[in-house]
Amino acid sequence: QLQLQESGPGLVKPSETLSLTCTVSGGSISSSGYYWGWIRQPPGKGLEWIGTIYYSGSTDYNPSLKSRVTISVDTSKNQFSLKLSSVTAADTAVYYCARDPYKSSGRALDYWGQGTLVTVSS
């Protein structure tokens, strides 16, 4: 059974960089046809896609966050990571990582981590 687990600091100061890691177990992050993504959800609000990475390192980012986001992958550790720079209170959210299979029939974020709350505050 595939499992994803987010990890990282739960509190980040304004203007600093938020860093999270997603560890994948029960499957290989290097499997062909699978992308891996980050999604966030501010308290009491809806879901927002942050970005997606392929094991080769190819990325897609939400244009609204692109200037501040970096997503990277470490296939040796079966992990992918998120860095969001110059954070403000508006970046306070539950951050989820998810698997994103790409098939001829379409795409779906099918497996999700449990999420981790990151609060931006001094």
Partner 1 sequence: QSVLTQPPSVSEAPRQRVTISCSGSSSNIGNNAVNWYQQLPGKAPKLLIYYDDLLPSGVSDRFSGSKSGTSASLAISGLQSEDEADYYCAAWDDRLNGWVFGGGTKLTVL
Which residues of the chain form contacts with partner 1 (CB under 8 A)? 37, 39, 46-49, 51-52, 60-63, 96, 100, 105-110, 112-115
Which is nearer to partner 1, 27 or 49 (by Cβ)? 49
Closest approach of partner 1 to the CB of residue 28, in Å: 20
> Among 12, 47, 5, which residue's Cα sits nearest to residue 29?
5
Closest approach of partner 1 to the CB of residue 105, in Å: 5
Alpha carbon distance 45, 40 (integer Å): 10
The C-alpha angle with vertex 112 and arms to 109 and 116, in degrees rounded to 5, equals 130
Which is nearer to partner 1, 16 or 42 (by Cβ)? 42
Closest approach of partner 1 to the CB of residue 56, in Å: 16
Which is nearer to partner 1, 32 or 46 (by Cβ)? 46
Closest approach of partner 1 to the CB of residue 40, in Å: 11
Q: How buried is residue 43: exposed, middle or buried, by Cβ count under 10 Å (0-12/13-18/19+)?
A: exposed
Alpha carbon distance 83, 104 (integer Å): 31
Which is nearer to partner 1, 47 or 122 (by Cβ)? 47
